[in-house]
Amino acid sequence: MIIETVNQFRRFHSKFKTEDCVVIPIFSDTNLHPQENILSLLYISFIDGKDYMLPFSHSETINLDISYLDKLNSDNKKYTFNKKELLHAIHLKNVIDVNLQYYMEYNVPLNVDEISTLTHNFFNNKFYNRNNLNSIIPTMKHLEYCRKLSNELKKHINLPVHEYYNNDVLNNLQYIESNGLKTLNDIVFSEYNLYTSTGRPSNRFGGVNFAALNKKDGSRKPYISRFGTKGMLVELDYDAYHLRLIGNLIGYEFPKGSVHEHMAEFYGCDYKESKNRSFKYLYGRIPIEVVQMNPFFSKVHDYINEIWSGYKKEDFITSNIYSKKIYRKNLSNMNKNKLFNYLIQLTETENNMRMLTDLISHLKEFKYESKLVLYSYDSFLFDFNMNDGTKFLKMVKNIIEQNGKYPTKVSKGTNYHHMKDITEKLA
């Protein structure tokens, strides 16, 4: 049923309040980020097979007022293919990402690329540059597509739900996406993809790889503060993050101060060379002489052999924070060092997400004007409103550093290219 009247909605809503369902949003423009898009249709299919289409912006329907979305915040389970995308359109409780369920079970995303209709293929091929294309594709064709996708999702809804990932991780990434990054002309949005081999999110949208913006070629220069003269960009960057994470895993306690200077004492070299050597050994092979003379890498060597042995025995390894499994059957050309690197990237991601859950909770609770706009592996970029004061920055720094466990370097700038170190000012 296509819901076009108040009475139709009331009858639908009485069922929606109590029964679990699949929810699929159809946005008007296939080329726009969901945060800046218009919700054209909302498809809802209940577990018993009854389904409904709620129109909000479509050329051939009597559209509902967008305020009707506020009435859908019930406690029933709502399964969807892309929770982040759905939350950009409507804030719902108890949303379960089926793609995530599948990924956590099999370490690969659910493949729905072939789910389509001939009509969708025709319109998308012929009018790919047209704005709001989904608003003119016939509603019944959207219904056909949604039924196919819903049926596929229902096959997997009984897979285990990983609460930390489904709630903390996806909600954190959606929150960051929703803030966007200011440029000279507009607000642009990034899109995190969690479904990678290691679980370390990639981040790209609109032809821009936000996770790999070059520091030297001017790629960062267009990004500025949305607060004008009252704002600036502030970045917090973990210092020797992987070394400290690994130290925590293997029970090696670094002394206060620079990790690389500490390691230089074992290498007998300067800071720069020490940094190069440590990363070379971490991401490559640890020479036996380094194992013998460096107590940190001696423990790393033993840890690598330990996880490799467990991996071959169990056919998977398990992350240390959120207990995510990486399965042997989904990995190719694996060796002990590559497996170790996968696990470290996953540990980095999960430690970041655990911290971000705490940080974002603070940002929401105290309603700061400053916004977290970008997360890239070991750094966090804020669009800082000066009205929030240095107290805000010190609070953020303390949470990100996890009470001093993982020190950061802090820099500020009028744009993301020209950044100046201010670490000492926030000490």
pLDDT of 129 reads 86
Distances (CA, A) of 404 to 105, 238, 239, 396, 407: 35, 11, 11, 12, 6
Q: How far is CA 327 from CA 110, 122, 317, 346, in A?
A: 16, 39, 7, 13
Reported pTM: 0.95
DSSP code per residue over 2-15: B--SHHHHHHHHHH
Distance CA 379, CA 368 (A): 20
Same structural domain, 10 and 157 = yes
- Based on the fold, state whether residues 392 and 310 are members of the same structural domain: no
Q: Which residue type, as a one-letter code, is found at position 404?
A: G
Q: Which residues of the chain have pLDDT under 70?
A: none
> What is the pLDDT, as a whole number, of residue 282?
92
pLDDT recorded at residue 10? 96
pLDDT of res. 305: 97
Domain assignment present for 1:
no
Instruction: Give domain status of residue 167, yes or no.
Output: no
Given this model, what pLDDT does residue 332 score? 85
- Would residue 170 count as lying in a domain? no
User: What are the residues whose beta carbons fall under 8 Å from the beta carbon of 227, sequence distance 6 or more?
Assistant: 369, 383, 384, 385, 386
Give me the residues paired with residue 238 across strands: 408
Strand partners, 23: 44
Sign of the alpha-carbon torsion through 362, 365, 371, 377: positive
81 and 107 housed in the same domain = yes
The answer to whether position 166 is within a domain reads: no
Structural domains in the chain (count): 3
CB 55 within 8 A of CB 2: yes
Can you give the pLDDT at residue 197?
85
pLDDT tens across 166-185, in order? 999 999 999 999 999 999 99
> How many CA atoms within 13 Å lie on the side-chain side of 135?
16
Question: In angstroms, rounded to a whole number, what is the distance separating the alpha carbons of residues 400 and 406?
Answer: 8
Q: Residue 265's Cα: distance from chain center in Å?
A: 38
Same domain membership, residue 33 and residue 152? yes
